[in-house]
Structure 1
Amino acid sequence: MAAFLVTHRRALLNSRSLVTRVRWGSTDSKDKYRIVVVGAGSGGLSVANQIYNRFRAAGTPLNKDDIAIIDAAEHHFYQPGWTLVGAGLKQKSETRRPLVSLIPDHLVHIPENVKSFSPSSASVTTESGRSISYESLIIATGMKINWENIPGLPKALADPSSGVSSIYSYATCDKVWSDIDALRSGKAIFTQPAGVIKCAGAPQKIMWMAYDRYQKTGRGDQISIDFYTGMPTMFSVKKYSDELEKLRIARGVGGFFQHNLVSIDSRNHKATFKKPDGSTADAEYTLLHVSPPMGPLDVVKNSSLADEAGWVSVDKMTMRHTKPEYGNVWAIGDCSSLPTSKTAAAITAQAPILTENLFSVITTGKVADANYDGYTSCPLLTGYGQLMLAEFKYGLEPKESLANYFGDQSTPRRFARRIFYHLKKDLFPWAYWNYHIKGTWFGSHGWLRPKFPSSTP
């Protein structure tokens, strides 16, 4: 923690003033860039900085105005931290920083959102009507949370006494802890939707933390916990799913599979779920934690760059667009069609590979021997001081980076569970703010940029 505070203080002292940065970004009038990155989230900031660093390392540095990042957001969020907020381990203010304070001098910040993509003319149009051209485009827009798809949910979340909360937004993650800590008796229900969501393990992470909280405070006998999920199992990877199912049974947590939340009646504390046969089931609750349905952003979904499901259609190995005529378009993270879990850990593996391939295409005309194997990770909290570190790749095949040191990560020994827990709680947030978004953190590779067969220095 001391190291984090020192590093954080140094970063603040070395940064330019927010006033200067806003003035510089908003007055930029250049309309063509070598590389345009749409989205300044976990993927966008990381890959933009890695690309700049990659050209510099090769002795062919880019100019300071060659890379533009387009995003109108006022703040940047460390979204994995919202589970920690919901568990009472962090304040939500620790998960948010002004976006302009995170964009370095070598990136041009255009504080707008993209309204449409025009890949045939290699340009994007912003919501103000400004047309921005590019030589290479990286889409890192993230995904959309569809709160309104569950009738009654927005109203329930806005009501401080509803007992309904969610870790999936900055506005509501602290309400999760408030509701969990205040509950003295009754039924607590935790939901997970069918389909693709951010960090598919998060819906049960917060459930396990609530369970452990109730056990440690002597409320376990007064509170029943049920897990309602639209998925057929506890987790997509069988190895981890089997262990989580054992944990669920051992802890007496009810499991209702292929039950998809479709509406909430907060006045009567009733949730309605749809089953595979089309029938519905009602459940009464005292506390309801909702993981809402999610999907691609409309700006991506409605573009010619999207696949049938609405994601940016990219090659799963190179992250380059699947259409040859759009070979100067790339995508990273949640907005992409990459068939792997959508997590920040996945981005740490994707960013150096996209960077290497784009660098190679620009400098040699062809992609490098840099292939993404689908690596992603879910640091799955199972209680205070304990965590199952799920790591896997394409094909839902485990790819555990620490098993040689700590043994099987699906059934970690007590000391390993504690170490994994502090990775999630302390190391990962520190690394994210100080290194990941600056392009100098490479996930399981730490601070060492991965090497590829055809890489130049």
Structure 2
Amino acid sequence: MMQAISGKLPIVTRRSMSHSAIARTLLTSQAQRDKHDCQVLIIGGGSGGCALAAKLSSKLGKNKVTVVEPAEHHYYQPMFTLIGGGMKRLEQSFKPMAEVLPKNINWIKSEAVEFDPKNNTVKTANGTNIKYDVLLLATGLQLNYDKIPGLVEALSIPNGKVCSNYSPKYVDRTYACLQNIQEGNAIFTFPQSPVKCPGAPQKIVYIAEHYFRKLNKRNKITITYNTSLPVIFGVKHYADALWKVVKKRDIKVNLKRNLIEVRPNEDIAVFQNLDKPEEIFEEKYSLLHVTPPMSTPPVLAQCKELVNETGFVDVDKSTLQHLRYKNVFAIGDCSASPNSKTAASAAAQSPVVYHNMRAVLKGKELKSSYDGYASCPLVTGYHSCILAEFDYDLKPLETFPIAQNKERYSMFFLKKALMPTLYWKVMLTGYWNGPALMRKALSIFDFGKKGIQGRKEDK
């Protein structure tokens, strides 16, 4: 038997321990390794997650911020519309996640599998238990292609007639479909669910119509946009302009019509009239572009303490702070704030979330407020775009001193050439907070424009 010598603890060798003691020691050691404490925990490495990781880590210092994100690549999703139209390539839309996340954070390359807001902990798929002071939920939305019977099968058919711009897995199929169709019906859809970038489902409609005209096959193709919404666009200022576009280009728009099934063996899409659910339409297609239903990830939606009845994080729409857990915030698409879900929204939310999270860490009052700003560059062809900008009240909140409800090449150039660089170099690094300052600086010209318009109206 070993005894202590000179008041020191006895040295215990593996041989002197029982098998059960060894097992307990290994389990304890593993548990210690699987525990992780941090000041700020961010779930998600998308637009909002990366921007806040950059802002907070630069202020709080090395290893104070932890990001949980399983993906290898970070995609600039607004580019998918241009990829579908053959204007960009898929490889231009992504970078390695390791390159876009800040170097001075802890990156746990796994996914969250359990939230415990009462105890300020999150568990990941690799078994790590993370304790946090403040939590930021930035999970984004998940694409539910499987919710429409027959859709996954249709998207798996090589050189098939069904496509979707929303996933990097399928986006290349869109341009192939535009090339392959020679005649018949080209149908485009908007689902009965919240979606990221609500303008995107109709952007590809306008791009496709322009493409068909360029190849002199437009007169053989009927174009239909079936949307589950009661309006073509949620902001009347821009909706009025879009109705003129579809009328001029002979694009048929069916409101309150939702895709419920795809029959790829027959090339038939089945739609339901949301005003009269018993009314079903079967439409033959030569091209079908589908925007899938979307939702927050199940692990988040199932945590009833964090989400509302629709599965979105239950936050105050101004502060973006959780209504019950004051050390929890949300940014981007997973938030229940009633703004349009776009990258521009996340950019405008980022300074608000940053300042309010910092206030919580310091025990101070929250002072920053989000006005619901969102932007949607509505690409209407290969050289035109309507730049929609608006707030919570669905009123225009425009940056430039020109009428932005007009199709313009300048706005198209902004979308195609400038916005990707702005995203990679300025937003993800934490420096872009949306165009509020630019809008303020240009407002003097806007006032001048309004004055001229007013004088014309007086005459």
Q: TM-score range by the shorter chain?
A: 0.7 to 0.9
CA offset at residue 39 of structure 1?
Answer: 0.4
Partner of 1:90: 88
Structure 1 residue 163 corresponds to structure 2 residue 158: no
Partner of 2:250: 252
* Cα deviation 1:191-219 (Å, max 9, x = unaligned): 11123101111011011001011112211
CA offset at residue 352 of structure 1?
Answer: 0.8
CA offset at residue 161 of structure 1?
Answer: 3.1
- Structure ID, larger Rg: 2
Q: Is the 8 A contact 1:205 1:381 kept in 2?
A: yes
Name the SS for the 1:210 alignment partner.
helix
Structure 1 residue 51 corresponds to structure 2 residue 56: yes
Q: CA separation in 2, counterparts of 1:316 and 1:159? A: 42
Partner of 2:405: 410
Q: CA separation in 1, counterparts of 2:386 and 2:131? A: 45
Q: Is the 8 A contact 2:53 2:102 kept in 1?
A: no
Partner of 2:318: 317
Q: CA separation in 1, counterparts of 2:70 and 2:253? A: 41
Q: CA separation in 2, counterparts of 1:381 and 1:104? A: 32
Structure 1 residue 444 corresponds to structure 2 residue 443: no
User: What percentage of aligned pairs have identical amino acids?
Assistant: 37
Selected match of 1:123 from 118, 121, 124: 121
Structure 1 residue 430 corresponds to structure 2 residue 429: no
Partner of 1:108: 106
Name the SS for the 1:252 alignment partner.
coil
CA offset at residue 229 of structure 1?
Answer: 0.8
Q: CA separation in 2, counterparts of 1:162 and 1:257? A: 27
Structure 1 residue 135 corresponds to structure 2 residue 126: no
Aligned-pair Cα RMSD in Å: 1.7
Q: CA separation in 1, counterparts of 2:220 and 2:181? A: 10
Question: Pairwise mapping of residues 143-158 of structure 1 onto structure 2 (< 5 A)?
Answer: 143-158=141-156
Name the SS for the 1:281 alignment partner.
strand
Partner of 2:6: none
Partner of 1:365: 364
Name the SS for the 2:226 alignment partner.
strand
Name the SS for the 1:168 alignment partner.
coil
Partner of 1:212: 210
- Name the CA shift for 1:447/1:63 in 2 (closer, same or farther; >3 Å): farther
Structure 1 residue 421 corresponds to structure 2 residue 385: no
Name the SS for the 1:207 alignment partner.
helix
Name the SS for the 2:380 alignment partner.
strand
* Cα deviation 1:344-385 (Å, max 9, x = unaligned): 0100100011101111222242212x1100000100001111
Q: CA separation in 2, counterparts of 1:45 and 1:426? A: 22
Name the SS for the 1:439 alignment partner.
coil
* Cα deviation 1:405-427 (Å, max 9, x = unaligned): x2x21125xxxx11100111011
Q: Which amino acid aligns with 1:435?
A: V
Q: CA separation in 2, counterparts of 1:227 and 1:434? A: 35
Q: Which amino acid aligns with 1:298?
A: P
Q: CA separation in 1, counterparts of 2:115 and 2:56? A: 22
The 4+ residue runs of structure 1 with deviation greater than 2 A are 445-448
Q: CA separation in 2, counterparts of 1:429 and 1:239? A: 26
Structure 1 residue 378 corresponds to structure 2 residue 373: no
Q: CA separation in 1, counterparts of 2:433 and 2:320? A: 17
CA offset at residue 235 of structure 1?
Answer: 0.5
| Worse overlay, 31-40 or 436-445 | 436-445
Q: Is the 8 A contact 1:440 1:447 kept in 2?
A: no
Structure 1 residue 327 corresponds to structure 2 residue 322: no
Partner of 1:288: 288
Partner of 2:309: 308
Q: Is the 8 A contact 1:261 1:271 kept in 2?
A: yes
Partner of 1:36: 41
Q: CA separation in 2, counterparts of 1:162 and 1:215? A: 22
Q: CA separation in 2, counterparts of 1:198 and 1:102? A: 21
TM-score, structure 2 as length reference: 0.86
Q: CA separation in 2, counterparts of 1:446 and 1:395? A: 20
Partner of 1:232: 230
Q: CA separation in 2, counterparts of 1:282 and 1:239? A: 33
Q: Which amino acid aligns with 1:313?
A: D
Q: Is the 8 A contact 1:122 1:134 kept in 2?
A: yes
Q: Is the 8 A contact 2:139 2:296 kept in 1?
A: no
Partner of 1:401: 399
Partner of 2:182: 184
CA offset at residue 315 of structure 1?
Answer: 0.5
Q: Is the 8 A contact 1:37 1:69 kept in 2?
A: yes
CA offset at residue 63 of structure 1?
Answer: 2.8
Q: Which amino acid aligns with 1:337?
A: A
* Cα deviation 1:13-63 (Å, max 9, x = unaligned): xxxxxxxxxxxxxxx96610000000001110011112234x3xxxxxx23
Q: Where does the alignment leave 5 or more consecutive residues of structure 2 unmatched?
A: 1-32, 442-459
CA offset at residue 446 of structure 1?
Answer: 7.3
Q: CA separation in 2, counterparts of 1:99 and 1:214? A: 37
Selected match of 1:70 from 56, 68, 71: 68
Name the SS for the 1:435 alignment partner.
helix
Q: Which amino acid aligns with 2:297?
A: L
Partner of 2:24: none
Q: CA separation in 2, counterparts of 1:283 and 1:63? A: 58
Partner of 1:353: 352
Q: Which amino acid aligns with 1:353?
A: V
TM-score, structure 1 as length reference: 0.86
CA offset at residue 182 of structure 1?
Answer: 2.2
Partner of 2:457: none
Name the SS for the 1:80 alignment partner.
helix
Q: Is the 8 A contact 1:441 1:447 kept in 2?
A: no
